[in-house]
Amino acid sequence: MVTIVRVVGERGKEIGSILWRCVYSFSLTLLCSAGLAFIPQGPESLRLVSHPGWTFPVFIFSVAAWSTAAWYSARLTLGRVFDGTSLLDRTDTPFVNRIRMWLPRFLGIVPASVLSIQFQRMGQPVLALACFGVAFAMGVFVVKRRAWFASRFRGFDGETASIRFESLQQRTVLTVTVAIVLTFVLLLAVWIWPVEVTRLVSAPALLCFAFASWILFGDLVLTYYFKQARLPSMAALPLLLFVAFSLWNDNHRVRLLPASAGEPPPVRRAIDDHLDAWLQTRVDSGALLPGRPFPLFVVAAEGGGIRAAYWAGMVLAKLQDDSGARFGRHLFALSGVSGGSLGGSAFAALVADAGSAGLARAPCARGARDGAYQACMRNVLQRDFLSPTLGYALYPDMLQRFLPFAIPAADRARAMEAAWAQGWESATGNDRFARRFDQLWAGDPAMNVPSLLLNATLVDGGNRIIASDLVIDGRFPDAYDALDPVLDLRRMSLSTAVHNSARFSYISPAGTVSACREGKALVACAPGRERRPWGRVIDGAYFENSGVESVRDLLFAMRPRLAQWRERGYDIDTAVIVISNSPDAIAPSGKQDPANARMDTTFLSELLAPPLGLFNTRTARATFAVTAGLRDMAVILPAGPERFLWFGMHSANDTPLGWALASETYQGIDALLQPPHEGKLPFRSVLARLPP
């Protein structure tokens, strides 16, 4: 027994020494392959490479690069005999040498093999065959290469194959140098042209190229070259730098537009005054008459990445098209979270374009078959917003994490905002998403543009922070006004305001907000005032994912003024529209049925139960807010017809959260807006309320 324990212990030490020597190629290859296979966003991102064009050839090349880097780095680091006392350098047993030989070969075929299986599971046999071809070619190459190329490896006793060497060949040094230089070329290209580059190099290809470059740099630079210089391995150095330099390298300050002379003051409207003006405009136009019901809608758009943005945007666009643009004139405000903020803001911007006659001239509206709003919404949102952000995260912003100073231009948040702004401009021909947030309500048509309440969460405190053209006052309990004069956010663009509501870690970073100070006191921001960090904003879903809480606060704030209008004989028919994008969404209900509960895995429950519970409250809190909102409608609003309209995305497909969807997924969502699915949603109830 003692002998067995001793042998197992010795083998364990040998295996540990081997894995630490090639820790980057081993860990990144296995963990990242598992991530692409098992994380829900993995399969959806892989569907991006099936689009026509060069995306799949580039992806196959990136997989080959990752496979080659994994094999090559492990082979060189395990084969080199360094001077020193390392167990691996002193051990020359058949057991160790078999691992030296077969572990690099195994790592070389893992990426393409896993992707081949994943594509087959996704119903993409052609792509699966291509990946299998890469795995097969890689396997043949690593086995037959010694017969094809001269080698300077020397053998060990009892083996004819040679795997140990004492110096690198010149061509090996050249190969590694060229690979690392190409990595920095890709870094600069993504940094300078994030949207343009990622149209060709999609998110999966960027991931594979990044894995390849990290493996080469980690194993061959931080391990191989340091040990060659008779220094300890620096494999753990990136982790140490990441932790130590985090005190000084925060480059995620919320981006602001440059100040310009003569720029207009910010548009801010008190809720009571704006409601009076909004209703008076309808009176002046003859749409609001005493004694005749006048519908007033308030919308809550749930979060959920691009899935939420597309579903909310398309529901609103369909209501607008089917009503002949009458729906928008009855929409007072939109409360959005995360992707719901993007969809709601895109709709409000289209309404603003229509008011200035810009929508009729927009490229996206030409030849629209089912309505200009739906056509433009598709054109704006059916884009890959993940790849530019991921490219920044994997290259410029990743480099930033290991520097002791901040480079604002490397902030990956800028890539997301630039992608939204460029997508909007490409579709509509104007730069509305790149303009100052409050300018969405500037000009004569502003009274027809619905107000926006874009909900974010403050990291330090967990409170809501709401960006809106409306003044967020004490009637929004425990919430901050993002456009408060003391906060330096009034020059943020529309795309930045949306992104503050959609900063779901870790794709988007927490945004640092500054406040203006004189000494220790906060003062209204003005040129020349001192600005210091005040707090960090993240996705609004951390507080509440449905957006209904802010709708409920708004309705309570509107209630006294609406009562005054009713006393004057005006019948304001207020209703709430909730747009939920959860694929298995059901209308809110009361008491939960125990039969609907589920017991998650108990694996590592001591560690996983707290974070899983916190994450799952994201959905549960939204369901509670919607259900409570439904209950409160009877208190906030007068008796009347149905005042709570639920647009749930009933779908058999579990569309994952993320910022990119495949064409097939968009088509599946579009199908839910057509018969027979359309009849399950309250489109007719909304349209029936609208006066002719």
| pLDDT tens track for 568-604 | 999 999 999 999 887 655 555 555 555 555 555 555 5
Instruction: Report the share of the chain in percent with pLDDT over 90.
Output: 44
d(CA 423, CA 18): 48
Task: Give, to the nearest 10 degrees, the angle between helix 339-355 and helix 494-501.
Answer: 150
pLDDT band at 510 (very low <50, low <70, confident <90, very high): very high
Q: What is the mean pLDDT of residues 201-221?
A: 89
Task: Write down the mean pLDDT value for the chain.
Answer: 84
Tens-place pLDDT, residues 654-665:
666 678 888 888
What is the CB neighbour count within 10 angstroms for residue 649?
A: 25
CATH fold label, 273-382+433-478+537-589+606-689: Cytosolic phospholipase A2 catalytic domain (3.40.1090)
Q: What is the mean pLDDT of the segment spanning 258-269?
A: 85
Written as six digits, the tokens of 596 are 């609907």
For range 33-57, the mean pLDDT? 79
Residue with tokens 């870094």: 187
Longest dimension (CA), the chain: 101
Is residue 279 within 8 A of residue 565, CB to CB? The reply is yes
Q: Is the pLDDT of residue 154 over 50?
A: no
- Find the mean pLDDT for residues 64-71: 91
Instruction: Please tell me the predicted confidence (pLDDT) of residue 632.
Output: 67
Average pLDDT in the 393-402 region? 90
Q: What integer pLDDT is reported at residue 598 of this predicted model? A: 59
435-452 pLDDT, tens digit each: 999 999 987 778 899 999
> Averaged over 358-369, what is the pLDDT?
83
Average pLDDT score over residue span 108-134: 90
The answer to whether residue 471 scores a pLDDT higher than 80 is yes
Pick the more confident residue, 143 or 315: 315
CA distance 230 to 653: 56
Res 15 pLDDT > 50: yes
Residues 553, 475: Cα–Cα separation, whole Å: 6
- In this model, does residue 144 exceed pLDDT 70? yes
Taking the domains of the chain in order of start, what are their residue ranges?
1-246, 273-382+433-478+537-589+606-689
Task: Tell me the average pLDDT across 392-413.
Answer: 91
Q: pLDDT, tens digit, for every residue of 418-429?
A: 999 999 999 999
Q: Is the dihedral of CA 468, 549, 473, 514 positive or negative?
A: negative
**Predicted pLDDT of residue 155:** 45
Give 171: exposed, middle or buried? Use CB within 10 Å, 0-12, 13-18, 19+: exposed
Q: With a cut of 70, say whether residue 631 has pLDDT above it.
A: no
The torsion of the CA quartet 426, 648, 330, 476, rounded to 10 degrees, works out to -100
User: How large is the average pLDDT for residues 600-610?
Assistant: 59
- pLDDT the model gives residue 159: 42
Q: What is the pLDDT of residue 455?
A: 97
Residue type, 528: G
